[in-house]
Structure 1
Amino acid sequence: MTRHIRHAAAFCALLLVALLVNATRVQVVDSQAYDDNPANRRTAIARYDQPRGDILVDGEPVTGAKDTGEQLRYERTYRSGPLYAPVTGFASQVYGTTFLEHAEDDVLSGTDPMLAPLPLWNDITRARNPGGEVVTTIRAAVQRAAYAGLGGKKGAVAALDPATGKVLALVSTPSYDPERLAGTGSAVTGAWAGLNADPDKPMLNRALSQTYPPGSTFKVVTAAAALDAGEVTDLDADTRSPAPYTLPGTTTRLANEVEGCANASLRYAFQWSCNTVFAKLGVDTGQDAMAGTAKKFGFDTPGLRIPSPVATSTFDTAMDDAQLALSAIGQYDTRATPLQMAMVSAAVAGGGSVKAPYLVDRTTTDDGDTVASTGTRTLRQAMNPGTAVQLRELMTDVVEKGTGRNAAIEGVTVGGKTGTAQHGIGNAGTPYAWFIAWAQEPGDAEPSVAVAVVVEDASADRSDISGGGSAAPIAKAVMEAALR
């Protein structure tokens, strides 16, 4: 009898050990798989059981939370949603997160372990911290000026502090209200379907995610390559450029929109945007030097994040001379985001140094203690400092007496470059109007703002579109707001 009891006890002990082993497997080894299982509602319920942390502009929240009292309790709200949508993105209980809401989701949702009072505290207690806050570099007045300047037009604006890389404004129009995508009801699914079906693509972040042919604004890069390579040594010397210019190896003749471009100096050609001079200059400078300089500015360099991802701007590295000529004036396959062209302008303003752009100044706990901060970081030297000085002189001439006079600000030194980019089959599309610029207050050692503006404006008359006419006034308003 005693032997049977011992056997039964041993069997019960074995069952207990098996139960403990299985519980350990479920709670430790397989816990992440159960947490990630789409059928597990506990994660979603816990995620929305507390408000998300806020995204701040000028110290004030541009986001909030609404208590619905439902199972997924808190929904995201947005103040001036369309104005800040390219910055915040959306946080949807159905469609996930985008832009800062996505890039800083761990902080905003309270899951970042750096928010915990002690290391490993959350792993032990399985607790969730209150959502932290994301303090942006955006300045509200600059953002509003860019949004108002674009008005109802399709386009984008990116503004930077050349000395630090801080993003001062990031606007894309037409925009949308991200609050329409918060919640779980039929209104949300209807809003999602409508926004995605809209031919104007209001959810497309044109400042970060869309690339355009940069047109004549790319002549800043071409001039930098030519000056650094020694192809041009005197800004006022004749360039031996015919007008019109026959593209190498073809019978295609490239013309200009203005007179006086034949054998024009680099100064005149830059001031009045002579295509023939810059096309020939690109060919004379050569594929390797052109591609190398473009790469130093940030072209063909994937992986840029601010922390939201930025589309890669491109300059083809395998072209014949005719294609190189067109690429040198920002056509053919050359493509750039507005943020990239703001970086080009900022590099000229900053002595040739390309600073890493960033949108988040710091992240904090819910009571304001700093979790992480972003510092100024130099990505690369795009050109010699002497070349940057020469380009600032050329860009100043554009605004003071050339194609960019609509960007002039009284009492302020402004440099700029206009661009009108052809696109579409046979260049039949309405041209994109570009303007890149920087502004420097009297007494300041360096410019304090650099900006890029692109206007699509498919409804405008083709003959009325130009960088100086459509985009320069917007850049002026943005720079004035930044200087204030």
Structure 2
Amino acid sequence: MTRHIRHAAVLCALLLAALLVNAVRVQLVEAGSLETNPANRRVPIARFGQPRGDILVDGRPVTGSKDTGEQLRYERTYANGPLYAPVTGFASQVYGTSLLEEAEDGLLSGTDPMLAPLPLWNDLTRARSPGGEVRTTIRAAVQRAAFSGLGGKRGAVAALEPSTGKILALVSAPSYDPERLSGTGSAVADSWAELNRAREKPMLNRAIRRTYPPGSTFKVVTAAAALDSGTVTDLDAPTRSPDPYTLPGTRTRLTNEGDGCADASLRQAFQWSCNTVFAKLGVDTGLEPMVRTARNFGFNDADLRIPSAVARSNFDTSLDKAQLALSAIGQYDTRATPLQMAMVSAAVANGGSVRAPHLVDRTTTDDGDLVATTGQRTLRQAMHPATAMRLRELMTDVVEKGTGANAAIPGVVVGGKTGTAQHGVDNNGTPYAWFISWAQAPGDIEPSVAVAVVIEDAAADRGDISGGGSAAPIARAVMEAALKAAADADGGP
């Protein structure tokens, strides 16, 4: 009898050990795969079982959470959804997250270990901290000015503070209301299908996720390369540029929109945007200096994040001379996001230094305790400071005497560059209208805002589109709003 009891006890011990081993296997070894298994409903139930943390603009939340009382309890809400959609993105029970909602998902959902006073305890108990807050660098007045300026036209605006890299506005149009994707009902699926099949692509963030030929705005980069390399030493010396200019190795003749470009100086060519001068200037400067300068401005960088990923702006590294000539005027395969071209303008305004653009100022817990701040850092030096000063002079001339007069602000020093970029088969698409600029308020030591605007309105008459005519007034409104916001923040009138 004793032997049977002993055998039973051993069997029970073995079964208990097996249960313990299985518990360890399930809770530790297979925990990751089980947690991400689509059939596991506990994860989304827990995820939406508490309010999501908020995204703030000027210290005020532009997001919220609504208690539905359903299994996936809290739905995301958005204040002024279309205005801030290019910043926030969406957070959907069905379709996941995008943009800032995605990049800061851990903090907003409460899973970031930095939110927990005892992270190890949270890991063991599967507890979830309240969602934190993301305080953005966006200024509401600047964002509204950019959104209103576009007026629903297809295009984008990016505005930066040159000395810090803070993003003051990030607008893409047409936009959409991300709240339409909150919830689990059939209306959400219908909205998703409608938004994705829309010809205007309202969910595409044109400011950071779409690249365009930058056209003549790229002449800022070409001028920087020419000045830094010593190809041009005198802004007012003749450049020995013919009009028209025959692309090297071809019979293709490049012309200009207006007269007076033959043998024009760099100052005149920049002021009146002479294609022939800058195409030849790119060839004379050479491929290696052009590639190096473009890279220093931020082109060909596939790793830029703000913290959302930014599409790579392109300047080809292998070009023949004819291709280099076209690339030097922002055509051929040269492509840039509006954010990239705002970085170009900001580098000129900031003495040639390219500051890392960023959208998040700091993150906090739900009760305001600091979690992290975004450090200001220099990505690279785009050009010599003396070259930046000369480019500021050239860009100021464009606004005061040239094609950018519509960006002028009384009493303010404004520099700019227009651009009209060709695209489509045989360049027969409606040109993209560009304007990049910066503004320096009276009494300020340095410019406090840099802007890039692009308009791709396919409904417009081709002859009515120009960077100076279509995009410059939008840039002016954005700069005025930024200068006023900066003055208000400093306690000015």
Structure 2 partner of 1:162: 162
Structure 2 partner of 1:206: 206
* Alpha-carbon distance in structure 2 between the residues aligned to 1:152 and 1:36: 40
Structure 2 partner of 1:175: 175
Structure 1 partner of 2:191: 191
Question: Which segments of 5 or more consecutive residues in structure 1 lack a partner in the other structure?
Answer: none
Structure 1 partner of 2:266: 266
State the identity as a percent: 80
* CA deviation after TM superposition for structure 1 residue 370, in Å: 0.7
Pairs within 5 Å for 1:447-466: 447-466=447-466
* Alpha-carbon distance in structure 2 between the residues aligned to 1:119 and 1:425: 57
* CA deviation after TM superposition for structure 1 residue 33, in Å: 1.5
* Alpha-carbon distance in structure 2 between the residues aligned to 1:446 and 1:194: 46
Q: Deviations over 1:255-299 (max 9, x none)?
A: 001111000000000000000000000000001110110000000
Question: Residue 287 in 1 paired to residue 272 in 2?
Answer: no
* CA deviation after TM superposition for structure 1 residue 125, in Å: 2.8
Pairs within 5 Å for 1:344-423: 344-423=344-423
SS in 2 for 1:210: coil
* Alpha-carbon distance in structure 2 between the residues aligned to 1:62 and 1:350: 31
Pairs within 5 Å for 1:205-354: 205-354=205-354
The TM-score normalised by the length of structure 2 is 0.98
* CA deviation after TM superposition for structure 1 residue 20, in Å: 1.2
* CA deviation after TM superposition for structure 1 residue 435, in Å: 0.2
Runs (4 or more) in structure 1 with deviation over 2 Å come to none
SS in 1 for 2:418: strand
* Alpha-carbon distance in structure 1 between the residues aligned to 2:264 and 2:465: 25
Report the RMSD for the aligned CA atoms in angstroms: 0.6
* Alpha-carbon distance in structure 2 between the residues aligned to 1:108 and 1:232: 52
* Alpha-carbon distance in structure 1 between the residues aligned to 2:9 and 2:441: 88
Give, as a single letter, the amino acid of the residue that structure 2 aligns with 1:211: T
* CA deviation after TM superposition for structure 1 residue 118, in Å: 2.4
SS in 2 for 1:313: coil
* Alpha-carbon distance in structure 1 between the residues aligned to 2:301 and 2:104: 23
* Alpha-carbon distance in structure 1 between the residues aligned to 2:14 and 2:470: 81
Question: Which segments of 5 or more consecutive residues in structure 2 lack a partner in the other structure?
Answer: 485-493
* CA deviation after TM superposition for structure 1 residue 422, in Å: 0.1
Give, as a single letter, the amino acid of the residue that structure 2 aligns with 1:350: N
* Alpha-carbon distance in structure 2 between the residues aligned to 1:281 and 1:431: 23
Q: Deviations over 1:171-230 (max 9, x none)?
A: 000000000000000000000000011000000000000000000000000000000000
Give, as a single letter, the amino acid of the residue that structure 2 aligns with 1:351: G
Structure 1 partner of 2:96: 96
* CA deviation after TM superposition for structure 1 residue 475, in Å: 0.1
* CA deviation after TM superposition for structure 1 residue 31, in Å: 1.5
* Alpha-carbon distance in structure 1 between the residues aligned to 2:281 and 2:347: 21
How many residue pairs get matched? 484
Structure 2 partner of 1:438: 438
Structure 2 partner of 1:105: 105
* CA deviation after TM superposition for structure 1 residue 467, in Å: 0.3
Question: Residue 68 in 1 paired to residue 101 in 2?
Answer: no
Structure 1 partner of 2:28: 28
Question: Residue 132 in 1 paired to residue 132 in 2?
Answer: yes
Structure 1 partner of 2:17: 17
Structure 2 partner of 1:471: 471
Q: Deviations over 1:334-363 (max 9, x none)?
A: 000000000000000000000000000011
SS in 2 for 1:251: coil
SS in 2 for 1:120: helix
Give, as a single letter, the amino acid of the residue that structure 2 aligns with 1:406: N
The TM-score normalised by the length of structure 1 is 0.99
Give, as a single letter, the amino acid of the residue that structure 1 aligns with 2:467: G
* Alpha-carbon distance in structure 2 between the residues aligned to 1:431 and 1:333: 15
Give, as a single letter, the amino acid of the residue that structure 1 aligns with 2:32: Q
Give, as a single letter, the amino acid of the residue that structure 1 aligns with 2:359: L
* CA deviation after TM superposition for structure 1 residue 12, in Å: 1.3
Give, as a single letter, the amino acid of the residue that structure 1 aligns with 2:453: V
SS in 2 for 1:46: helix
SS in 2 for 1:361: strand
Q: Deviations over 1:385-404 (max 9, x none)?
A: 00000000000000001000
Q: Deviations over 1:414-457 (max 9, x none)?
A: 00000000000000000000000000011111100000000001
